[in-house]
Structure 1
Amino acid sequence: MSWWKKILAGDGGSIKPQRLDYLNEGLALERHGDFEGAITSYQLALRDEPANVKVLQYIAIALSRTGRQEEAIRHYRRALELQPDLAGAHYGLAFLLRRRGDLERAAEHLRAFLSRPPRDPEMARWVDHARVALAEIDGGESDEVTA
């Protein structure tokens, strides 16, 4: 073993590269308001685990916060391809579609979210928000039909 490796390894053992935790790095950056940095970290996490639905949802949220709605929609849809009953992806996608004016599809995703709402009491406000949004969409669609 070279003297350089002995210095770096300390005990004379081999140097093993550490795998970076890009997901937690992204979450920390997002907490500090660095959404672009968080997106980069999430992209690196996806490179390591392209089917990680948690990372797909986090990147979609960060993309939404930076105004990149279409990219966020793609990431939510990819998460739903991998796990069709993913409540958070249905919720996020519903509100992006609603903002874009696609009320029919937004309502579909709100219904999917509400069909299996999170049971955590801390999530109650999001469940209520989804119910109100769906009622507004359903009310608006029925008004349009009768008009």
Structure 2
Amino acid sequence: MSKRDVAHHVSLAKLQSMLGVSRRVVNGLIDLGLVTPTRGPRNTLRFTFQDVVLLRTALQLRTAKTTPRKLRDALARLKRELPDELPLSGIRVAAEGDAIVVKTGPSRWDAVTGQMFLDFENAEIGGDVVLLDASPERKSTAAAQAQEHYELAEQLMLSDPTAAESNYRRAIELALEPFYAAYVDLGALLCEQEHQCGEALKVFDDALQHFPDDAILHFNRAVALDTIGRLDEARRSYEQCLALNPDYADAHHNLAMLLEKGGDRRGLIRHLNAYRRLSG
């Protein structure tokens, strides 16, 4: 996989954070054939921008208790219409009443019928068109501004990682309470670029001050440590992740590979077997 390909793919941990779902739910959607993720470094699953949108839409439609046929029709249309990469105009998929509405730039259309809707505000920020909620009350609070920066960062993470980083940091700064998703996504974004894994580690350490018992943060911290060669610390972070969530398959896999480097064959076999059992 080329460097450009890696930059335009999303890790499983980041996907779980974006969608707010467990690995089991993601695996279920994969089993349905909605997406076909590839494998990246350390055998981790990698998802395209198109995969993210399709999975998010599937979850929204399922939550809305739509019929299986409507779900299939919406996803089939989305798969045909979505670009391979995030357009500068940005894109959102949101449930509005009984409809699933796709918003791209100033345009809004029904994910099932393809029907266009009108009258949605768009605002130009830094050369990119970003969809915003026009409610003055929402814009008047720091919490709402933090959410807007976070949503902008999500839209920019594939097309402009530097701008996405800036917006994730602004979201964390403005949030009235520790902004879990922004911490996770910022750290994952930085760790996609190996030369910034040290900076990602600082982000995860800051986040763990607020969320010390979060398995995903410990896993991501371990990956950052692994990447920069601090292997003993990485092992301890993987072990802490598994102490919090023994079913974290990717933590078993990565820890197995780490133990193999250290010559611990028994540990390698134990964690590799756990990974195979949880991923099978």
How far the C-alpha of 1:45 sits from its partner, in A, is 1.2
TM-score, normalised with respect to structure 1: 0.66
How far the C-alpha of 1:48 sits from its partner, in A, is 1.2
- Between structures 1 and 2, the one with greater strand share: 2
How far the C-alpha of 1:80 sits from its partner, in A, is 0.9
Q: Does the alignment pair 1:51 with 2:213? A: yes
How far the C-alpha of 1:85 sits from its partner, in A, is 1.7
Q: Does the alignment pair 1:75 with 2:237? A: yes
Which runs of no fewer than 5 residues in structure 2 stay unpaired? 1-136, 144-173
- Name the CA shift for 1:23/1:15 in 2 (closer, same or farther; >3 Å): closer
Q: In the alignment, which of 22, 25, 40 is matched to residue 183 of structure 2? A: 22
Distance 2:205 2:142 in 1: 26
Q: Does the alignment pair 1:40 with 2:207? A: no
SS at match of 1:116: helix
Q: Which segment is superposed worse, 16-25 or 44-53?
A: 16-25
Question: Which residue type is aligned with residue 67 of structure 1?
Answer: G
Identity over aligned pairs, percent: 30
Superposed CA offset, 1:65-95 (max 9, x none): 1000000100110111111121111101101
Paired position in structure 2 for 1:102? 264
TM-score, normalised with respect to structure 2: 0.36
Distance 1:45 1:38 in 2: 11
Q: Does the alignment pair 1:116 with 2:278? A: yes
How far the C-alpha of 1:31 sits from its partner, in A, is 2.1
How far the C-alpha of 1:15 sits from its partner, in A, is 6.1
Distance 2:141 2:270 in 1: 54
Structure 1 stretches (4+) deviating beyond 4 angstroms? 13-17
Distance 1:14 1:90 in 2: 42
Paired position in structure 2 for 1:137? none
Paired position in structure 2 for 1:93? 255
Q: Does the alignment pair 1:63 with 2:260? A: no
SS at match of 2:261: helix
Instruction: Give the RMSD, CA atoms, in angstroms.
Output: 2.1
Question: Which residue type is aligned with residue 32 of structure 1?
Answer: Q
Distance 2:142 2:246 in 1: 42
SS at match of 2:279: coil
Paired position in structure 2 for 1:129? none
Which structure carries more relative contact order (alpha carbon 8 Å, separation 6+)?
1
Question: Which residue type is aligned with residue 70 of structure 1?
Answer: D
- Structure 1 or 2, whichever has the larger Rg, is 1
Which runs of no fewer than 5 residues in structure 1 stay unpaired? 1-10, 119-147
